[in-house]
Chain A
C-alpha cells in the first residue's frame, strides 16, 4: 500500500508532470541530432538542476533519457545516421524503409511498440529489480568476455551477403578500439608517438564518420535523384500491424531488460542482440532483413527501450550504473546526498517507486509527443539531397567536435567517413566495424581479467568456461550461434522441416 502511495507521488505534482513532458520533448530532439547524445544532455542537465529539489531533477532526467533514446531512431530511419548508439541497429532496416517512402509508417510503428516495450521494462523493473540485480552481480569477467564474443558474432548477421567481409570489418573495429593508452597497464598501443592517439579513438567519432559522412558520400554517387516522398497519411499504425509485431516486441523488450541490467552493456548491445534474434527467428518477413523488414526496426527499438528500465536495476539495487546515463543519474543522487545501492531501497523506498512511476509517465508522454514531433522530422527527408547532404556533413562535424572540443576528432571522423565510403563500395558493412569498436574494450579488459583470475593458465581459463553455470550457458549459446550460421546446420534444419 505504501509502495502505491510512493508510486503515485509524480501524479499528484503538476510540476513533476510538466518537467517530465519537457524532458521527453527535448530528449527526442537531442537524441535525433547526431553527436548530441542523451549522456551529454543528461550531464548538462545536472549543472542546470544542481539547486533544484531531487524530485524535479529526476523528473526531467527520466524524461530526457526516455525521449532521447527514441529520438536516436528518427535520424537512423530518415538519414541512416543514428542519433544515439542504441539506434545503430534501427538504421539497418529503418533507412531502407525510408528509401521506400515508408519512414512515417516505420517510425509510427516503432514508436507505439517502443512505448509497449518500455512499459514492459518498467513493470519488470518494479517487480524483479532486487532479484535481477543480485543475479547480474554474479557475472564474472569471463562471462562479460563471453558476452562480448557473443556480440561480435553478430557480425555474421550484419555483414550482409558475405560473412568474411563482416568478420574483417568487426576485427578492424576491435583493432581501432585498441588504439591509445591501455587502461590497466598504461602501455601505449598503436599510438606511434602521436599525442592525439594516446586517449584512443572515441567510438562516437568513428560512428559519425562511418555512418554519417560515408552515407553522404554514397549519396553523391547519385546526387540528382529526386528525394523520396514520405507517406505521412498513416503515422499511427493500425491495430492489426501492432498486434502482429507485439510478440516480437515483447521478446526483444525482455532481451533489453536482461542486457540493460548487466553493468557496462547498454541499449546499443541490447538492440544489436535483439536485431540478430529477430533475424534468426523470423521465418518469412514481408520484406527481407536489410532491405526494410519491419521486424528489423521493431526488435532493436523494443530492446533499447527495455534496456532503459534494465539499466536502472543494478543502479538502484547495487549502486552500479547499467549505462552511461544511469552513471550520471547516480552522480545526481550523490549531489543530493543519497547513496545508490542496496540500502537505497531500504532507506528511501519512495525514490525507487518514484523513478518507476516517472519512467512509466515518460513513456505515456513519448506516445503523444513522439507523434507530434514526427511530421517536422519526416519532412527533413523531402529536402533535396543537394541541400540535405552538405548540411548532414556540417552536422557530423559539429556533433564530432562537441564530444571533446577537439578538431583532431573532426579529422579522424572525416578519415573514418572516407574509409567507410570505400568499405561500402566494396560490400563491407560499416555496422560490424562500429560494433567492434564498441565491444573491443569490453572484450579486451574482461579477457585479461579472466586470464588473470585463471593464474595465466589457458587450461584453467577454458575449464572455468565449462565448470561455472553462467559461463557454460553463455558458451553453449555462442556455440549455437556459430553452428547456426553454418550451411550444414541450415540444410539439416531444412531436411527436418521437410520431414
Chain B
C-alpha cells in the first residue's frame, strides 16, 4: 500500500517501495510517544465534558482517546524493545526533513500566510515560480515564469469565472 511507503536514503532504494519489518524507523519512538501523549490529552480534556449518563457527549471521546493511548503505548513498547540504540537528533531531522521537503514546507507556509495580504493571484504566481525554480535547480527561469502565470490564469478563469468560486 502506497501509504506505507518508506523511501530510504539508500541510493538503490530511492523512490522504491520499501517497508522494513521488525525494525523501527529513526525517531519512530518519538512519533509513538507523541500519539500516546495525544491520547492521554484527549482523555484528560474529555473528563471536563459532561458525563452524567452513558449517552453524554464525553463517552465516545473518552473511548477513542483511550484506544489511541493504548495502541500508541503498544507501538512505543515495540519500538523500545526493537531499537536499543537511539538515533541521533541529526539523523532524525535528516530522515524527517530532507532538503526538498523542508524547502517546500517553508514556501507553503509563506504562501498561506501571504494569501490574506497579497491575495491569490500574486501569491500563487510567486509560490509557483519559487517552488518550481527551486525544484529544477534554478533552470529555465523564463519558462517557469510562463508556466506559473499560465497555471494561475487558468485557475482564476476556471474557479472564479466558470465555477463562481471565491478565491482566497
Contact = CB atoms under 8 A, between A and B. Distances in A.
B161 interface: no
Interface residues of A, number: 82
Nearest to A179: B61
Given A175-B42, A291-B1, A410-B168, A391 B159 contact: no
Interface residues of B, number: 71
Nearest to A215: B2
A422 B57 contact: no
Secondary structure call for the B interface? helix
Interface string B115-159: 110001000100110011001100000000001000100010011
A338 interface: no
A165 B61 CA distance: 19
Given A168-B71, A178-B60, A410-B115, A391 B5 contact: no
Given A386-B136, A410-B112, A443-B60, A187 B50 contact: yes
A146 to B, nearest CB: 14
A182 B46 CA distance: 13
A164 interface: yes
B112 A164 contact: no
A95 interface: yes
A102 to B, nearest CB: 14
A451 B59 CA distance: 11
Interface in A89-108: 92, 95-96, 99
Contacts of B83: none
Contacts of B167: 398, 401
A304 B107 CA distance: 37
Contacts of A189: 46, 49, 57-58, 61
B132 A220 contact: no
Given A30-B163, A451-B55, A171 B67 contact: yes
A430 interface: yes
Interface in A370-425: 385-387, 389-391, 393-395, 397-398, 401-402, 405, 407, 410-411, 414, 418, 421-422, 424-425
A429 interface: yes
Nearest to B130: A390
19 contacts: A160-B1, A160-B3, A161-B4, A165-B75, A172-B38, A187-B57, A189-B46, A220-B135, A221-B100, A289-B1, A290-B1, A394-B128, A407-B112, A410-B112, A424-B3, A440-B60, A447-B55, A452-B55, A461-B54
